Structure 1
Amino acid sequence: MPTQVNIERRRQAIYGWLLLSPAAILLTAFAFYPSMATLWTSLFSRGTRRRPTEFVGTENYADLFADPTFWKVATNNLIYAGATIPISIAIALGMALWANSKIPARGFVRTAYFTPTVLPMIAAANLWLFFYTPGLGVLDQIGALFGLPSVNWLGQPETALWAVIIVTIWKEAGFFMIFYLAALQTIPEDLKEAADIEGASRFTYTRRIVLPLLMPTTLFIMVNALINSVKLIDHLFILTKGGPNDASKLILYYIWEMAFAFFDAPQAAAMTILILLVLGIVAGVKFTILDKRTHYQ
């Protein structure tokens, strides 16, 4: 006969599984199963009516590594992430420090900074077309005042990717500012008073006290910015469509193109698995190393 203690343990176990089941079901349906299905698809060849799919193992991955377009797109994404992440964080921090200070019309300043965030990326891209359009755009109109020639910002390999980067920074900085602003408001005023008593300058107070206390928030924003640098491609459909000559094509856009334009699902699945692998490594570094260095316990 089960004892009362065993019955209570079983009851608690059942209760725990009931609490866990909604999240487990959602993760299984929308994360684990799609990931495993994608991995399985990446191990087969592209099927046609005359030639059905065959198991090819890692051949799709080998083809990717031998594809110069893949390396071009991967390089573009590295440049895109390397520019958007630190610049967006720096601008967001600067805006948050200013919006948190005692300035006139502080509410208006916060609203103005946050407004680009509420715009869909498609709308933001269409808005920036008015800046980039050759001859008619705002940038060319300003340049004409100084006698500068017209520039096709989105049609030149040298400028297309950077034009896309600027749109992303403009869109993302206000969103990250909200997190910094919330974190700044949790810093006790006693620390500022103590710094003033010690004669610390505003710069010293910010560098020695504020920035270290904001490190957990910075890490959180950095991870989100990294994810966004992989998943944000909406503006590419409006601005450049990956051109010219793949100069602004990013990895997720290339996956979409491979799957739905070229109908090569195995190659698209292989690229997806590589992205998941990279993000998994980043997550592992974040949880095992960075969290210990940034959270103060």
Structure 2
Amino acid sequence: MKQSSLNAVYGWLLLLPALVLLAAFTHYPALTTLWHSFFSTPKANRPAVFVGGENYAAMYYDPVFWQALWNNLLYALITIPVSVGIALAMALWVDRKLAGRAFLRLAYFTPTVLPMVAVANIWLFFYTPQYGLLDQIAHLFGFANTNWLGTRSTVLPALMLVAIWKEAGFFMIFYLAALQQIPPSLKEAATLEGATRWQYFWRVLLPLLMPTTLFVLINALINAFRVVDHVVVMTEGGPDNASTLLLYYIYQVGFSYWDTSYAATLSVVLLVILSVTAFIKFRWLDRRTHYQ
């Protein structure tokens, strides 16, 4: 056997454990979910039967699904750019020579290591009407009490704030690592050429950070559509489904209503949304990404 063939076999053998895990825990569940979405939910004395597209038709006429989808799209549209922008700003700040820089980095990263259930309970105290931290601060300026989690107009922004507070420090670590790989000579050369700080950031720094930005955006997208734990703890989708997000609705349908086939249908839609959005991001951002 030729050396090139041996190298190919050796390479595939190295990839085999990862391929098995990927197929077993990603591709097979996705295909199984798609398959079950075309069947009815099995009951104790009634096996599942093929129903074709009935579950998708029911989803089309389901107002809660559309409300959850709209809430999730709005949630992603706001939390992703805000958390990524704050993460980049924090990384640029703590990358400088500052007194207490290590403590500042730790303070920014601390929310990331906290479990989401613990974070949700902390913010429940902040949002408690009359006695919570936010209302206590509002009282100092003469504002009335606000039921942040019990009002349709404020409950979703309240959840967004929790997610931004927790995720910005996580994304900051990736930007900080990328910034430390950029040689200082680039900034010195740009300064000698008369570039301002803004020109150096926009023309030099940001293009070099595009691989990290692409990675962070994909992770932020996934995080925005897999939100369920702090919704369960803080609002349970209320009031009147104003804070129901897509994954929480899937969890509710599958484990509260025990309609597993309809939950599989909703999961397929979620997978399609994530796949299409990720593909668009790769197609659009990869043209602007420069790998070293």
TM-score interval (norm. to shorter): over 0.9
Taking only aligned residues, the RMSD between alpha carbons, in angstroms, comes to: 1.6
1:78 Cα deviation from its structure 2 partner = 0.5
Rg larger in 1 or in 2? Answer: 1
1:218 — aligned with what? 213
Structure 1 vs Structure 2: percent identity of aligned residues?
A: 56
What is the CA–CA distance in structure 1 between the aligned matches of 2:7 and 2:195, rounded to whole Å? Answer: 54
Give 3-state SS (helix, strand or coil) of 2:82's partner: helix
How far is the alpha carbon of 1:20 from its aligned partner?
Answer: 2.3
- Asked if 1:103 is matched to 2:91, the reply is no
User: What is aligned with 1:159?
Assistant: 154
Q: CA deviation at 1:13?
A: 4.8
Q: Any conservation in 1 of the 2:207–2:288 contact (CA below 8 Å)?
A: no
**Other structure's SS at 1:158 match:** helix
Of 49, 74, 78, 1:79 maps to 74
Q: CA deviation at 1:9?
A: 6.2
After superposition, residues 1-297 of structure 1 pair within 5 angstroms as 4-5=1-2, 11-49=6-44, 51-296=46-291
What is the distance in 2 between the residues matched to 1:147 and 1:176? 36
Match of 2:243, SS state, is coil
CA distance in 2, matches of 1:28, 1:211: 36
Distance (whole Å) between structure 1 residues aligned to residue 80 and residue 278 of structure 2: 16
Paired residues, what number?
292
Distance 1:201 1:284 in 2: 35
251-260 vs 201-210, which moves further: 201-210
Mind listing any 5+ residue stretches in structure 2 that lack a counterpart?
none
TM-score, structure 2 normalization? 0.95
One-letter amino acid of the counterpart of residue 60, structure 2: F
Where structure 1 has 5 or more consecutive residues not aligned to the other structure, the ranges are none
Distance in 2 between residues matched to 1:216 and 1:243, nearest whole Å = 38
Q: Give the TM-score, by structure 1 length.
A: 0.93
Tell me the amino acid that sits aligned with residue 272 of structure 1.
S
Q: 1:201 to 1:9 in 2, by over 3 A?
A: closer
- Provide the rounded CA distance (Å) in 2 between the counterparts of 1:70 and 1:94: 36
- Give how far 1:129 is off: 1.1
